[in-house]
Amino acid sequence: MEIVNRFLKYVSFCTTSDENTGMTPSTPGQMEFARYLADELRRIGLQEVTLDRNGYIMATLESNQSPAVGCQIPVIGFIAHMDTSPDASGKHVKASVVKAEERDYIDPRYAGQDIIVTDTTTLLGADDKAGIAEIVTAMEYLIQHPEIKHGKIRIGFTPDEEIGQGADHFDVKAFGADFAYTMDGGAIGELEFENFNAASCKIRVHGLNVHPGTAYHKMRNSMRIAYQIAVMLPRFQTPEHTQGYEGFYHLVGMNGTVEETTLSYIIRDHDRTLFEYRKRELEHLVRKINTEYGEGTAEIEIRDQYYNMREKIEPVMHIVDLAEEAMKAVGVTPVIKPIRGGTDGARLSFEGLPCPNIFAGGENFHSRYEYLPVPSLEKACEVILEIVKRVK
């Protein structure tokens, strides 16, 4: 149960990220956790452990085998992120291990299994502290079992993935891997090499406030204008009405007064052409508002976050095949599907580090009902070890 205890220790750190601070890492708890992790990596015997001022951790497990004459063993990497989603509280997590039948929100397929849950006042943090626990436990196992031959392995832990900034200061050259895997997927078996194209959008609406008794033809209520923008978007192109490869507009925040209102959206689509269309559609709606209410009434800012990694992974599909074979070897049925989200691996793939995504094992991410089946946690660790064994 070492991996379980390790995970339970990790979730005791509050590492919720915050896109509004303008700092990296965006919250102090992430750096506190990073310092703990760096110390732990040194303690278990990893080399070249570094923690930079932005909260990025890198470390090395050196090769213990000699390559065949004329060959070079690829350097493989494993990556996970330290932050948890702002969608639910990650403070004072009270985690415990229960049987699946003790919680009615746990999928029946996990019947009889030990499940790590919270008291439902916070999220759990399996996204992605499960991934970190799996990587660290696998590295410790390899150190303790030198009879398992492997090439050089690099590990990296990043801050702020949940707010789309996890790869902002990741030094791909310094990492020095030929390819890597993010341990950041969901349920057991997930293996992903394509994801949404993603952007964030802020629309600021400027109003004019006067006394309501004398407001006739004078007042401009920014909240009502913002609502007008929101309802002009397609009603059924939202997360709750889409699945598979279907994209969406997702209103994630509204904050306003009569004087000024801000709408915060995320834009997602697997198809790059449709993704660009969605951005243009929001810009078009803002222009319509300004035509109706006057130039400068609404302002829009769109920032691309990451792109579909598929185009970067397809030329090196052997790394996906490797992960698939490793899963089968440890008794896990691979479930290859597109990510309805994104990972650090998406951006890193575009920066020259091909980086498919492997399950971390959790369910109901970003929710107070998040949970982590213990067998899934253990199997993810086994997959890492099997991949390492197969890289020659």
Q: pLDDT tens digits, residue range 335-365? A: 998 988 877 899 999 999 999 999 999 999 9
24 close to 140: Cβ distance less than 8 angstroms:
no
383 contact partners, CB below 8 Å, separation of at least 6? 323, 326, 327, 330, 332, 358, 359
Tell whether pTM > 0.75: yes
Q: Are residues 58 and 134 in the same domain?
A: yes
pLDDT at 70: 63
Q: Are residues 298 and 313 in the same domain?
A: no
Nearest to 301 by CA among 355, 337, 265, 252: 265
CATH number at residue 319: 3.40.630.10
Determine which one of 128, 134, 140, 161 is catalytic.
161
User: Burial, 362: exposed, middle or buried (Cβ in 10 Å; 0-12, 13-18, 19+)?
Assistant: buried
Q: Are residues 347 and 217 in the same domain?
A: no
Residue that terminates a domain, selected from 305, 325, 358: 305
Residue that terminates a domain, selected from 267, 290, 305: 305
Q: pLDDT tens digits, residue range 40-58? A: 999 999 999 999 999 999 9
Q: Is 271 a catalytic residue?
A: no
Residue 65 confidence (pLDDT) above 90: no
Q: Are residues 81 and 187 in the same domain?
A: yes
- Provide the domain limits for residue 100: 2-195+308-390
Q: Are residues 26 and 109 in the same domain?
A: yes
Please tell me whether the peptide bond between 356 and the residue prior to it is cis, using omega within 30 degrees of 0: no
Question: What does pLDDT average to over the chain?
Answer: 96
DSSP state of 16: B
Query: What is the pLDDT averaged over residues 172-195?
Result: 96
Residue with structure tokens 């078009």? Answer: 284
Query: What is the pLDDT averaged over residues 303-328?
Result: 95
Cα separation values, 384 from 132, 323, 390, Å: 12, 9, 10
Which pair of tokens denotes residue 288? 């319509």
366 close to 87: Cβ distance less than 8 angstroms:
yes
Q: pLDDT tens digits, residue range 292-301? A: 999 999 999 9
Please report, rounded to a whole number, the percentage of residues in the chain having pLDDT higher than 90.
93
pLDDT at 357: 96
Instruction: Give the count of beta carbons closer than 10 Å to the beta carbon of residue 248.
Output: 22
Determine which one of 83, 127, 140, 386 is catalytic.
83
Q: Is 259 a catalytic residue?
A: no
pLDDT at 343: 78
Residue that terminates a domain, selected from 305, 324, 356: 305
CATH number at residue 292: 3.30.70.360
DSSP state of 67: P
Q: Are residues 216 and 273 in the same domain?
A: yes
Q: Are residues 39 and 136 in the same domain?
A: yes
Q: Are residues 318 and 381 in the same domain?
A: yes
Q: pLDDT tens digits, residue range 214-255? A: 999 999 999 999 999 999 999 999 999 999 999 999 999 999
3-class DSSP state for residue 324? helix
3-class DSSP state for residue 363? strand
Q: Are residues 189 and 253 in the same domain?
A: no
Q: Are residues 326 and 355 in the same domain?
A: yes
The tally of domains found in the chain comes to: 2
Which pair of tokens denotes residue 313? 């992974």
DSSP secondary structure string for all residues of 75-107: PEEEEEE--B-TTS--SS--EEEEEGGG-TTS-
Q: Are residues 264 and 369 in the same domain?
A: no
Q: Are residues 148 and 209 in the same domain?
A: no
